[in-house]
Amino acid sequence: MITVTINGKQIKLEKPVSILEAAKMTGIKIPTLCHHKSLEAYGGCRLCLVEIEKMPRLQASCTQYVTDGMVVWTETGRVVEARKAMLEFLLINHALDCPYCDKAGECDLQDLVMKYGPAAGRFTEGKRKHPESYDDPIIVRNMERCISCTRCVRMCSKVQGASAISMVNRTSKTFVEPFSGGRYNCEYCGNCINVCPVGAIMSRLHKHTYRPWFIEKTVDTVCSFCGVGCSVTAQIRGNSIVRIIPESEKGLNRGLLCNRGRFGYDYISNSGRLKSPMIRKNGSLQETTWSEAFMYIAQKIKEIKEKNGGAAIAGVASGRCTNEDNYVFQKFMRLVVGSNNIDSIAGFAYAPARKFFEKIFGQGVTANPIQGISRSDGIFVIGGDPTAINPVLGLQIRAASQKDIPVATVGYAPGLKGFAANRLIPKPSTEAALLAALLTEMLKRKPLPAEKTPFEEIIGKIQPVSLNEAESACGIASGEISACVDSLSGMTNPALVIGRDIIQRSEGQANLLLLAALAQALNGRIYLSSELPNEQGLIDMGCLPDMLPGGRPVAVDSFRKRYGEFFNAEVPSAQGLSLMEMVEGAHSGNIKALYVMGENIAFNIPDNKFVKDALSRLELLVVQDIFTTETTRFAHVVLPAASWAEREGSYTNLEGRMQHLKKAIDSVAGLEDWKIIAEVSKVLGVDMNYRDSRDILAEIAKVSPLHKGVTYEDMDSGECMWPYKGEPLRHDLNIVGIDMPDMKALLKKPEKDKVYIGVDKVLFHSASLSRNSFALNSIYSEPHAKIGKNLAAKLSVASGDHISISTGAGAIELAAVIDSDMPDNIVLVPNNFEGRGAFRVMGWKMNAAFKAPALDGMEAVLKKLERVSAEVSE
Amino acid sequence: MLSEKEKNEIETELKQYEHKRAACVEALKIMQHSRGWVSDDGIHDLAGILGMTPDELDGVATFYSLIFRKPVGRHVILICNTISCWVMGYNQVLRSLNERLGIGLGDTSADGRFTLLPVPCLGACDQAPAMMIDNELYGDLTPEKMDEILGKYSWERD
Ligand code: SF4
Ligand code: SF4
Ligand code: SF4
Ligand code: FES
Ligand code: FES
């Protein structure tokens, strides 16, 4: 026990902490500049000096730890004098242009000088000069204001792991610069902006748009971009969000955000937002009233239902909509329309993977806290680069690596280069061979127990694959594979981070089985990457063809009955169609009507042309969205929805945490998605009397066995984790219906000279929503095709040259970017930009097990273009 | 691109440390020794070997005033401008260098022979005013001694 006295107050501590922290516990605030909660103590600014009895000199309280019997004074005359002196030094070169500086009002230096002085400095020499830099699209730097606290540099290297900036030069010429000046060319997370105590690094997007004291209210909500679900605070003036910031005490992101979360929200104020309902008349979409639109939809649905039955109607839900929206949507589809045809993009990878792992390990097996990643003793990453897909989760992996926790990556994961000790990059579609070899070797070192669980029995039946066999299939030297096994076998409870790329394959199920086996052998925890903010919510709310709310299978009579009884209605028993089957159904004519809520299926599903063909054959296509999209162009009715900032509800993130999405501003034109559905339902004769999202949540809390009694207040407390207050489904230990992988087929070598196309997950974009963000477009405005250096050499292509990529499905032309890290026979194209997305030229095969598109083996022919036709000038 | 010699020397240094980055100052010195200065490309190449980002390494390189990030002349004159030397006649010494070489502090002579840089205290206050050319210290300087000293670094002798 340590007893310390600070300003006469006694405090007892279990373990030593810094004086600064101890003072904070007793409610005493010591001023700081270089210290920041997210960063390690630095001791550079000397603002936190305190007087310690029996110590002759003042000490920096951020680095000095308490000892038993220590007596500390934080505001004596000596201390105050010293702080004043430190500030006077800082002001020698500080620009002091507060009237012009956007930081004024929330500037630590300004606040401290106001408190401790000096009123005037004694240095009469001129101040240093350094022009303000506008080299960056979203960051503006004014190094005359920099006080060299190094918070930004420490943030960028130690937390963000980007190491894009550093302190260059020395003495009064020290500035924060990216290498060789110019643009930062970094991940643009803006976390450096967040920690800068003065106005030296600021957001260019917000320059001179408002002052901190203009903010009228703040709303704590959740980011709208990915499945991590970072907490954000929206600062509001009038009816617009002026800025999004993270707060260090709140949420799982603890003060960090990625570029999308911090800057990308501006799509909500894009002038292209849909403003009025529209109905197709004489071939074109024309503005109409809400009531006419509702009547039209209801009438059409009624007709089709009477003529073709409910099963001819299908619904597409959205991972960007709230739980409340999605719950109401599936209720509408099941009970009003009478169809289990309900699915979403989550059905392509996230849901099948989750279902697969749950079948083996039990419900909720992937519900693991993200913060646990940096605390695990090893990390295995496969199927996509988490630092691009789920950036703040990616930071956990980088943080772990900086603590010397071993990280192994399989596949191309550029954001973890330099962080992964084992980087295995197999040839396209040969991961299964590699995984099987890793498993075989692992089992040699840690054999299965004699007394086997049913799953271990299954593992025992997986055909072993030798290192050499794997080497010849996937092209990775056997030594490298066994080095990875060495590293894996030292882990006792690693995190396995699994991405979409490994799931959306013909051999997707084999990959998942091998990963499950590996997870068992390693005693690992599984994390599924999730590209949308509410993919997990889609599953929990029953937006799957075979699942009711609360993860209850439709096929089980008792669950179906129980659900129907709540509403005195009947849930259809026939299993519904998956999203891909719906599209096929629309193409073949079995599906007559499609109701799409917040999803751009004509763009986000591979083989755009096929999807568009299918959509054009529908008798009724209803689309609720906030923008005109490739899909709305085929719609018979388009309904403007409220954006993420304009509605209340909840999101469930990839760790199974329910979070409260709060309404920040009023909607300009659109309605909440659930409200639109409820209105249509009403016209169809089924009242859904919800006053607000609270009423819906209350119903969910009654109907879903998983969400018993869940409220927004539970979510606001911050720890509304899976399985909430409810009951997960009991795990059936007898695992049935798992096919053994056919190793012989999986060990087949890919053809040597072929080039395959894959999807590039761009850090700066998110499906087709981000193209409406001015901020994100200003960082990444043009899609590129990424190729490796050998392929580039073969085509004699340099970075920036245009190439054409053609497949059986079509061709696109893009500028090439060369990344020396990429495997040779693959070209990666993002799927974010209109008319130039990867899915325009990517076909698919149906994965029978998942009823989802498999994306492998899409051969592409690359050609260098001598000149881009569009850019020919006169 | 690093030369074989540079590579070997850096490899030898790397072996001395547990963490590669710990060898960064030595690596910079090796490069500077063989090339006279460290260019942007040089920083890139070294950063790759040291497992650092170019920016981190540049932070180190620019911190040390004796790592040159701009081209310098064949010989670098470091003239001490701190108190002892200043009291003992730094100004006269500097002026004579200015006149003889036709350059000011921070400049390189037109023939590329000398770069003149100020340095805070060479630890030779007992011989003030002092300066250093490459690794050679010259003390008790007077303008009169300059011709002889600079003569040692003429083209013919190089
Ligand atoms: S925006 Fe992020 S990556 Fe870029 S310099 Fe700042 S902290 Fe580093
Ligand atoms: S830019 Fe800001 S955070 Fe970075 S060193 Fe300067 S004052 Fe500190
Ligand atoms: S990591 Fe995901 S949730 Fe967090 S700020 Fe970025 S996009 Fe938003
Ligand atoms: S806060 Fe302690 S020295 Fe800066
Ligand atoms: S002051 Fe010149 S050598 Fe010390």
Domain ranges of chain B: 4-63, 75-157
The helix (H) or strand (E) run that includes residue A91 is helix A77-93
Nearest CA in chain A to B44: A179
| Residue A123 backbone phi and psi in degrees, to 5 | -85, 125
Taking 50 as the threshold, does the pLDDT of residue A59 lie above it?
yes
pLDDT at residue A655 is higher than 60: yes
**Is B56 close to A163, i.e. CB distance below 8 A?**
yes
| Mean pLDDT value of segment A341-350 | 97
Q: Do A164 and B55 touch (CB under 8 A)?
A: yes
Which ipTM score applies to this complex? Answer: 0.75
pLDDT at B32: 95
Judged by CB atoms closer than 8 Å, whether chains meet at B53 and A163 is answered as: yes
CA of residue A36 to ligand 4 center, whole Å: 9
Residue A870 predicted with pLDDT over 70: no
Q: What is the pLDDT of residues B41-56, one digit of tens each?
A: 999 999 999 989 899 9
Question: pTM of the predicted model, to two decimals?
Answer: 0.91
Which distant-in-sequence residues (6+ apart) come within 8 Å of A848 by Cβ? Answer: none
Would strands A810-818 and A852-854 be described as parallel, antiparallel, or unpaired? unpaired
Q: Are A141 and A200 in contact (CB under 8 A)?
A: yes
Which ligand is closest in space to the CA of residue A151? 2
Q: Rounded distance, CA A282 to CA A873, Å?
A: 39
Chain-wide mean pLDDT for chain A? 94
Q: What is the pLDDT of residue B157?
A: 63
Instruction: Say which ligand is closest to the CA of A196.
Output: 2
Q: Is A857 left (phi over 0), alpha (psi -120 to 50) or beta?
A: left
Average the pLDDT over A366-382 and give the result: 95
SS3 of A759-828 = EECCCCCCCCCHHHCHHHHHHCCCCEEEECHHHHHHHCCCCCCEEEEEECCEEEEEEEEECCCCCCCEEE
Distance between CA atoms of A329 and A343, rounded to whole angstroms? 11
Q: pLDDT tier at A731 (50, 70, 90 boundaries)? A: confident
Give the residue on B whose Cα is nearest the Cα of A184. Answer: B55
Cβ–Cβ under 8 Å, residues A340 and A581 = no
CA-A187 nearest atom, ligand 1:
3
DSSP string across A111-142: HHHHHH--SS-S--SPPP----B--SSSEEE-
A172 in contact with B at a CB cutoff of 8 Å? no
Task: Check if the beta carbon of residue A573 is closer than 8 Å to that of residue A846.
Answer: no
CB A169 within 8 A of CB B62: yes
Nearest-CA residue for atom 2 of ligand 2: A196
**How far is the centre of ligand 2, averaged over its atoms, from the C-alpha of A664 (Å)?**
31
Rounded-to-integer distance, Cα A727 and Cα A618, Å: 40
Radius of gyration of chain A (CA): 29
Q: Enumerate domains of chain A plus CATH numbers.
A: 2-75 (3.10.20.740), 97-269 (3.30.70.20), 278-344+543-716 (3.40.50.740), 359-528 (3.40.228.10), 751-871 (2.40.40.20)
Chain B residue nearest residue A421, CA to CA: B51
A120: pLDDT strictly greater than 90: no
From CA A219, how far away is CA A232, in angstroms rounded? 8
Alpha carbon A170 to its chain's center? 39
A179 near B CB under 8 A: yes
* CA B53 to the chain's CA centroid: 24
Residue A20 has pLDDT above 70, yes or no: yes
- Model confidence over A391-406: pLDDT tens digits? 999 999 999 999 999 9
Pairing of strands A9-13, A2-6: antiparallel
Evaluate if residue A823 carries a pLDDT over 90: no
Report CA dihedral (A645, A649, A652, A657) to the nearest 10 degrees: 100
pLDDT of residue A874: 35
pLDDT of residue A787 exceeding 50, the answer is: yes
Check residue B156 and give its pLDDT.
Answer: 65
Q: How far is CA A328 from CA A420, A637, A700, A720, in A?
A: 43, 19, 9, 21
A542–chain B Cβ distance below 8 A for any pair: no
Q: Which CATH class is domain B75-157?
A: alpha beta
The preferred substitution site among A189, A776, A780 for testing ligand 1, maximizing ligand atoms within 8 Å of CB, is: A189
Q: How far apart are CA A796 and CA B42, in angstroms?
A: 26
Mutate to test the interface with A, among B24, B53, B56, B67 (most CBs of A within 10 A): B53
- Contact call for A168 and B51, based on CB within 8 A: no
* AA letter at A23: A
Name the residue among B40, B52, B65 with its Cβ closest to that of A180. B40
Task: Examine residue B129 and say whether the peptide bond preceding it is cis (omega within 30 degrees of 0).
Answer: yes
Sort out which chain A residues have CB atoms less than 8 A from B45's CB and list them. Answer: none
**What CATH number labels B4-63?**
1.10.10.1590
Give the nearest chain B residue to A156 (CA atoms): B56
Q: Residue A198 pLDDT more than 50? A: yes
A–B interface: beta-carbon pairs under 8 A = 39
Amino acid symbol at A442: M
Residues of A in contact with B119 (CB under 8 A): none
Determine the Cα–Cα distance for residues A561 and A556; give it in Å rounded to an integer: 9
Please tell me the distance between residue A107's alpha carbon and the centre of ligand 4 in angstroms: 16
**Ligand 1 atom closest to Cα of A165?**
5
* Beta bridge partner(s), residue B118: B79
pLDDT given at position A867: 65
Between A87-101, A575-589, A785-799, A858-872, the lowest mean confidence (pLDDT) is in A858-872
Q: Tokens representing A475?
A: 């092209």
User: DSSP secondary structure string, A347-387?
Assistant: GGTHHHHHHHHHHHH-TTTT---GGGTTTSS-EEEESS-HH
Record: contact A163-B65, CB cut-off 8 A: no
pLDDT for A271:
93
Q: 3-state class of A553 per DSSP?
A: strand
Q: Which residues line ligand 4 (CB under 6 A)?
A: A 32-35, 43-48, 60, 62
Q: Which residue of A has its CA nearest to B68?
A: A169
Give the residue whose CA is nearest to atom 3 of ligand 4: A43
Phi-psi region of A649 (alpha: psi -120 to 50; beta: other; left: phi over 0): left
Start-to-end C-alpha separation, chain A: 82
Q: Is A157–B56 a contact, with Cβ atoms under 8 angstroms apart?
A: yes
Chain B positions touching chain A (beta carbons under 8 Å): 40, 43, 51-56, 58-59, 62-63, 65
Among partner residues A162, A168, A170, which is closest to B58 by beta-carbon distance? A168
Backbone angles phi, psi at A51, to 5 degrees: -100, 130
Ligand 3 geometric centre to CA of A258 (Å): 6
Average pLDDT over residues A576-585: 97
Cα A678 to Cα A236: distance, rounded to the nearest angstrom: 30
What span, in angstroms and rounded, lies between the C-alpha atoms of A487 and A489?
A: 6
Q: How far apart are CA A440 and CA A471, in angstroms?
A: 14
Decide if pLDDT at A696 tops 70. Answer: yes
pLDDT at B158: 61
Q: Probe ligand 1: pick from A156, A205, A260, max atoms within 8 Å of CB?
A: A156
- The reported pLDDT for the residue numbered A868 is 57
Picking from A446, A447, A439, A445, the residue whose alpha carbon sits closest to that of residue A469 is: A439
Q: How many CB atoms lie within 10 A of CB A27?
A: 8
Mean pLDDT, residues A61-71 taken together: 96
Confidence of residue A872 (pLDDT cuts 50, 70, 90): very low
- pLDDT value of position A857: 72
| In the predicted structure, residue A733 carries a pLDDT above the cut 90 | no
Can you tell me whether residue A433 is helix, strand or coil?
helix
Give A166-181 pLDDT, tens digit per residue.
999 988 889 999 987 8
Place of tokens 């070598």: A749
Q: Which of residues 190-219 of A touch B (CB under 8 A)?
A: none
- Which of A163, A170, A174, A398 is the best mutation test for B, with the most CBs of B within 10 A? A163
| Per-residue pLDDT at A367 | 94
Give the pLDDT score at A433.
95
Q: Whose CA is nearest to atom 8 of ligand 3?
A: A261
